[in-house]
Amino acid sequence: MSIDSASDTSAVAATASRPAQRVDSVPLRHPLLAVVGLVLVALNLRPALSSLAPVMGDVVRDTGMSSGQAGLLTTSPVLCLGLFGVIAPRLAQRFGAERVILIVLLMLGAGVALRGIGTFPALFAGATLAGAGIGIIGVLLPPLVKRDFPKKVSLMMGVYTMALCAGAAAAAGLTAPLERALGGQWTGALAFWSLPALLAALAWLIQLRGRHSGVGQAHAPVRGLWTNPLAWQITLFMGLQSALAYIVLGWMAPMLRDRGLDPVMAGAVVSASVMTQVLAALVSPMLATRTPSQSLAGAATLGCSLVGMIGCLYAPVGTIWLWAVILGIGQGGAFAVALTLIVLRSSDSRVAAQLSGMTQSVGYTLASAGPFAVGILHGWSGDWHASAALFAVVAVAAGVFGILAGRPRQIHG
């Protein structure tokens, strides 16, 4: 394996879009249908994670679970993202990426629906099943983008990340109103988010019919990937910025409720922050790829995340919307840049698939410690000051690895 430095923007763009091997040249019969399928799948990769926090207080009250169990519900799906993401490339090689995504979408929908039972064991099982599904699909989609849209990588990664953030925002903002509309039944509000997963599975099935999956062909492993410094820099950037994202998804609403906001307003603020990520996620990859280096983009997005989070926790409540928007710009941009780096730093879809598996499996396993640590710190201190300090430390570390990963180099198999 070698790491080559790029000298200008065109070199980066060319290597990012070059169909280097036969496996990258699978023709799309219906490109628009492929885009629709990608968007619908991406919309379902965060509602299972962001829908719980707005009704967490009611869930704890009705189930009688402890704060440790509540922390486990926010941590287990993120941990499963990492643990199950590592097997995604092997599943794709054996069965084909598209077929695996279809089956796992159904599994994801079943996990979300399971939460409607309303007991802690069902909530935990549903969170685990959903997290496993999200982890597998999340690893498989970036290589498909590189294979199917080699000349529009930055645009399509932006569209993918935008849809992912939109799904998170919708679930964060609509779950509490759904609960009220259902007469206070949080079980139905949580189970509702299985319906979009079934719709996405139907759309993906239509796309899958008659399609040959080149990603499903056998590939030799990328030698030296797990000892490559650049691969680890991308992995740590992905993992640390994801830890911040899951802290916000899992705990921001309870933090704001402790600041005096009612449940619906707290959910609305989180939803507004996540909705801001939609625009940031679309724009960031295109801005970041205008130059050979993405280091500035990595550092700037983490800086916005830190400033926005501190503002949400400590600035006057009347300014909460401003800080929520800044937080959303930072987090949406950071996640989009992290995913784009996987594609930009890979010489072909084979490298992209295995780098995606490494960065997301290890990264999300690391990220799962974030919401769990916040739950422990809050239970220990009774306030959110220690959690704010943890957020700051993780944000600075993520910024450092973003600068390193953003340097114009590439990984070759």
Q: What is the pLDDT of residue 312?
A: 95
Q: Is the pLDDT of residue 335 over 80?
A: yes
User: Which of the two residues, 17 and 83, has the higher pLDDT score?
Assistant: 83
Q: Is the pLDDT of residue 6 over 70?
A: no
**pTM of this prediction?**
0.76
Q: What is the pLDDT of residue 277?
A: 85
Q: How far apart are CA 139 and CA 128, in angstroms?
A: 17
Residue-wise pLDDT for 282-302, tens only, equals 888 888 888 889 999 999 999
Q: How far apart are CA 126 and CA 72, in angstroms?
A: 12
Q: Is the pLDDT of residue 413 over 80?
A: no
- Which residues, 6+ apart, have CB-to-CB distance to 115 below 8 Å? 122, 123, 126, 127, 187, 190, 191
Quick one: average pLDDT of 185-192? 92
Strand partners, 409: 5
Q: How far apart are CA 272 and CA 370, in angstroms?
A: 22
Helices (H), 153-209: 153-181, 186-191, 194-208
Fold for 3-411, please state it. Answer: Growth Hormone; Chain: A; (1.20.1250)
Burial environment of residue 266 by CB neighbours within 10 A (0 to 12, 13 to 18, 19 or more): buried
- Which residues, 6+ apart, have CB-to-CB distance to 72 below 8 Å? 124, 372
> Taking the domains of the chain in order of start, what are their residue ranges?
3-411
User: Which of the two residues, 382 and 325, has the higher pLDDT score?
Assistant: 325
Q: What is the pLDDT of residue 49?
A: 84
Confidence of residue 324 (pLDDT cuts 50, 70, 90): very high
Q: How far apart are CA 379 and CA 366, in angstroms?
A: 21
Please state, as a whole number, how many other Cβ atoms lie within 10 Å of the Cβ of residue 387. 23
Quick one: average pLDDT of 182-197? 92
Q: What is the pLDDT of residue 218?
A: 42
Residue-wise pLDDT for 388-405, tens only, equals 999 999 999 999 999 999
Confidence of residue 14 (pLDDT cuts 50, 70, 90): very low
- How far is residue 93 from each of residues 3, 45, 67, 101, 219, measured CA to CA in Å? 25, 22, 41, 12, 7
